[in-house]
Amino acid sequence: MDTFAFTILDIASLLNLTVRHRGGQNMDVDCPLCGKKGKMNLHFGKNVFRCNYCGESGGMISLYAKVYGVDNSTAYREICDSMQLSTGSVRSLPAPVHEDSASPEPEMAPLEDRDQTYRMLLSLLTLSKTHKDNLLARGLTEEDIYRYGYKSTPAFGFVKMIETLESLGCRLDGVPGFYRKEGKWLTSFCSACSGIVIPVVSMDGKVQGAQIRLDRPIGNRKYIWFSSTDKDSGVGAGSPAHFIGDPSDKAVYVTEGPLKATVAHSLSGKTFAAVAGVNQYTALEELLIRLKTNGTETIVETYDMDKLTNEHVEKGCQRLIELCTQYGFQIRRLKWDPAYKGIDDYLLARKKKG
């Protein structure tokens, strides 16, 4: 039997999974593959998982591999890199966590409260020249960057930031990215997760969460949620869908990643929606229901062109088609020159060519 230097609990932490219930030998989390709340069970002793909604199952390395669309060998290397372990290291497994030692995660604050807190937080942050140049190179204008609120993660001033937010009446409890330690509110910003703060906006134009585009990727991850799951009084981000454009457009384009969607909208003028991952079905389904009510007729799939070669991405595309059919939408699939992986890359190249 193989002995690894990590457990499925470590994988849950790396994937930033939201815990709904915890027992002596297992816990229920939000499925990172289909998005259903509390439907994935992680077994500590066996280091295996199974989602009771989408049916995905396997070992802990397979879980990481499925989420990021890589093979198991690559997943293993990335896990070890993220945890600063050698690929041959081992350690004894931790004692099981008893149910009475774990408290349930607090409820997420209402959207209006999160919007107020995040907007005030963004107003306190600045944008570095390096990050501004990165956004400009993607095809955004300076006006876009200002309008959409992109900022850099702070390197210092955390205590003052919290004090300012509290003095302005901003709610911190139930807002992802904030937690308590020794009775004081803190933020999840840290030097290891420096990068660009990306507001994730609802169809109502409210900031419901935030991602960070990392300066230094963690394994295969370039983006992480601004989240405080598994911390005292902290909550997970919940992987909400991002929306940019006209909520009543007849055609809405769907892609993966909030930043990509906003760049594509800026370059094309089309209405875009984005999920954090191609298999985030729950956020996607909620979005489709609202779009149908608003009169949208056509959903245009614009996931990355590795859908031609990556089974993980193509599976997400097929699930999107199934959901669109279920809710009565027409579905179109866009394909472009595979030399440009994302729809944003393709639109930018086309703009440069005139």
Q: What is the CATH number of the domain that holds 203?
A: 3.90.980.10
Residues 247 and 313 in one domain: yes
Report d(CA 350, CA 302) in Å as an integer.
16
Res 211: pLDDT: 96
Of the chain, the percentage scoring pLDDT greater than 90 comes to 59
Res 91: pLDDT: 43
* Residue 102 in this model has a pLDDT that exceeds 70: no
Residues 118 and 216 in one domain: yes
Q: How sure is the predictor about 73, in pLDDT bands with cuts at 50, 70 and 90?
A: confident
344 occurs within a structural domain: yes
Residues 125 and 37 in one domain: no
**Residue after which a domain boundary falls, among 57, 92, 127:** 92
The arithmetic mean of pLDDT across residues 57-62, rounded, is 90
Contact yes or no for 91/79 (Cβ under 8 A): no
Res 245: pLDDT: 97
Residues 144 and 219 in one domain: yes
Q: What is the CATH number of the domain that holds 32?
A: 3.90.580.10
Which of the given ranges, 15-24, 40-49, 267-276, has the highest pLDDT on average? 267-276
CA angle 323, 327, 330 (to 5 degrees): 85
Structure tokens at 36: 């259903």
- Give the chain's mean pLDDT: 88
* Residue 95 in this model has a pLDDT that exceeds 60: no
1 occurs within a structural domain: no
Res 104: pLDDT: 61
* Residue 92 in this model has a pLDDT that exceeds 50: no
Res 86: pLDDT: 63
Residues 213 and 287 in one domain: no
Helices (H), the chain: 8-14, 60-68, 72-82, 111-124, 129-137, 142-148, 158-167, 258-268, 281-294, 311-326, 343-353
Residues 219 and 246 in one domain: no
Residues 175 and 134 in one domain: yes
The arithmetic mean of pLDDT across residues 177-184, rounded, is 93
Query: What crossing angle do the helices spanning 158-167 and 111-124 adopt, rounded to 10°?
Result: 130
Report d(CA 109, CA 274) in Å as an integer.
22
* Residue 44 in this model has a pLDDT that exceeds 50: yes
Res 274: pLDDT: 96
Structure tokens at 253: 């384009």
Q: What is the CATH number of the domain that holds 308?
A: 3.40.1360.10
Span of 128-132, 165-169, 284-288 with lowest mean pLDDT: 284-288
Give residue 210's domain range.
111-225
Res 19: pLDDT: 84
Q: How sure is the predictor about 97, in pLDDT bands with cuts at 50, 70 and 90?
A: very low
104 occurs within a structural domain: no
342 occurs within a structural domain: yes
Residues 178 and 212 in one domain: yes
Residues 115 and 221 in one domain: yes
**Residue after which a domain boundary falls, among 165, 191, 225:** 225
Span of 11-20, 100-109, 258-267, 283-292 with lowest mean pLDDT: 100-109
Total domains in the fold of the chain: 3
Of 190, 194, 238, 228, nearest in space to 212 by CA:
194
Residues 115 and 207 in one domain: yes
